[in-house]
Amino acid sequence: MGRRKKVDIKKRRQRLLKEKKKEQKKQSIQVEKKPLKSFDLRMEKETKLYWIRALTGALSAFIGRLLFGLIGWFMLMWMLLWWFLFPFVVSFNILKYEYDKEEWHWKNIILPGIGMFFFLFMIVGVFLHTLLNFIPGFSSVLELFL
């Protein structure tokens, strides 16, 4: 038996890492070029509606309490207005989604993000109302300017 050949481990490891990066790039390109199914497109739409709904919940509580000074039943009506009407405005006018007449159902627009909307509306509304109660005689920003 002869002498063993010296192997430079660092070079060999770098070469293996380069090969793995090339393989990963090829795999990611193949995954990206995969044709989208109707289910994937619907989930993408619902995900956008979900996050818009989450943002809308926090902003509507903030605007309703701070700007208009809504409390109680008026705040409930404000929440319901944003809860049920704004998703249709977003879906049809802002994002301009096109729905198939056979597959379209109003629940596809109303359902994504209902829990998140309600949760963020309540958290922001209660937190803001609590903070504003520490300011004596303050009810809304509009009252300051009028």
pLDDT tens by residue, 18-57:
888 888 877 776 655 566 676 676 677 778 888 888 999 9
pLDDT digits (tens, 9 = 90+) for 53-106: 899 999 999 999 988 888 899 999 999 999 888 888 887 888 777 776 766 777
pTM here is 0.65
pLDDT at 126 over 90: yes
Predicted local confidence at residue 75, as pLDDT: 92
| 24, part of any domain | no
Predicted local confidence at residue 49, as pLDDT: 82
Three-state SS string over 38-77 comes to HHHHHHHHHHHHHHHHHHHHHHHHHHHHHHCCCCCHHHHH
Predicted local confidence at residue 116, as pLDDT: 92
| 71, part of any domain | yes
CA 11 to chain CA centroid, nearest Å = 45
Instruction: Tell me which residue range forms the domain holding 57.
Output: 37-145
Alpha-carbon span 146 to 108, nearest angstrom: 42
**Around 12, how many Cα atoms within 13 Å sit in the side-chain half-sphere?**
4
113 vs 28, residue with greater confidence: 113
- Total domain count, the chain: 1
CA angle (120 as vertex; 97, 77 as ends), nearest 5: 80
Alpha-carbon span 109 to 58, nearest angstrom: 19
| 81, part of any domain | yes
| 109, part of any domain | yes
| 53, part of any domain | yes
| 5, part of any domain | no
| 3, part of any domain | no
